[in-house]
Amino acid sequence: MSEADTHVTATLLPQSRVAVFSRDKGTLEAARSIQNDWRFARVEVQVEEGDVQTATQAYSEFKSPDILIIQTDTIDEGFVPQLEGLAAHCDEGTEAIIVGPDNDVNLYRKLIDMGVRDYLVRPVVTDILAEVIAKTLIDQHGVTGSRLVAFIGAKGGVGTSTIARNFGLVLSNDLGQKTMLVDASGGWSSHPVGLGFEPSTTYKEAAKAADSLDEDSLARMMFKVNEKYMTLATGGDVMLEPIIKPPQMEALLEMLMVKYPAVIADISASSPELRKLILSRANDIVLVSNATVSCLRLARSLIMEIKDIRGGEDDEVSLFLNMHGLAPANELSSGDILKAMELEVDGTLPFDPKTFMRVESEAMSLAEDKTGKEYYQNALLPYAARIFGAQHKAVNKGAESGAGVFSGLLGKIGKK
């Protein structure tokens, strides 16, 4: 897998099923570890102790997955009839990846000629297995190029919703991205005031529409901020009750990400369950904090928890400082923050309550305010361009070059 291919597969993978059959402990562990990779949030990975015969028996009764990974200790003349027998029970479109014992170029070519998607040599490490699966799924289903960006505050009152709201304006107005804002706060949302709309729906209603794939009903629940910026007009939810369950939120996000390349999730006042779900599958996470020790301590703890739910990774977390200058004598410098957090500051907004309160109360963009425009251009725009410029274009380029649904290697074997 080349560096370019790896970059292209750095995206949320399409909803799909992958099955792994092996009797090797290392391969089984590598396959199970894939489920900790945030890209596989939509992918159901089934790991079974077995071989080609076990798989044949399983799919004589059940529908075959998108990708079937089979490990074998021997690849001889008897292995081909076994694959043909398995192919007879698999659906057209199923791709097969074989894990074998020998690094043999002639064997690799023979298997590819038979219709096998790829051949890996044992031992198989998690990273290689994940990249091969990711590339295969993107070749099969393509990608929408959509990105889910989660905004979370180190604590309440640091201005997370204001930044998330204006981030959407940057994406839609300045970067030309079709953008959707989802506020998982329910009845606690401040976006109706900040964007100038009256709540007309609840998350239960939106989840019901997503569950039934009712795009027309869901479209009627949206408020149009500008030509390329929409938000769910929620906020009518009961404040002291959970809004929806995580699987309902996931179904809603999946439906929205098909239509909107940029989906912003404001989880600053959402339930822990919804926060954990969205943080686990977000492409980018914006952690908003101020520069005080108490707030940064919470931010550091939150980063550690984010790493736990994302398989030990925090590369997608960006630290954004708001209200800088709130308490100068008690604030850390960017250098001290880097030492303490091991994370660079990606953007800084000053403590200017008069400007920010005016913008929110009058449902304005920061760019529409004389003072706010400077903040908008100097902090929000460069940051948005950095994460939604190069990365987004790279994903789209990969989708164009690796297009189409393959005819299916096992189907190819079965037709011989």
If DSSP states are collapsed to H, E and C, what string results for 349-365?
Answer: EECCHHHHHHHHHCCCC
So what's the pLDDT on residue 73? 86
Phi/psi of residue 228, nearest 5 degrees: -120, 15
How many angstroms separate the CA atoms of 63 and 66, rounded? 10
Mean pLDDT of the chain: 85
**Domains of the chain with bracketed CATH:** 3-143+403-414 (3.40.50.2300), 147-368 (3.40.50.300)
Q: 390 pLDDT exceeds 70?
A: no
Task: Name residues whose C-beta falls within 8 Å of residue 159's C-beta, 6 or more positions apart in sequence.
Answer: 153, 288, 322, 323, 349, 356
Q: 289 pLDDT exceeds 90?
A: yes
So what's the pLDDT on residue 66? 93
Helix axes 353-361, 160-169, angle to 10 degrees: 60
So what's the pLDDT on residue 397? 35
So what's the pLDDT on residue 220? 92
Q: 2 pLDDT exceeds 70?
A: no
- pLDDT over 90 percentage in the chain: 47
Phi/psi of residue 62, nearest 5 degrees: -125, 160
Strand ranges (E), 258-316: 262-266, 284-289
Q: What are the tokens at 363?
A: 């449902």
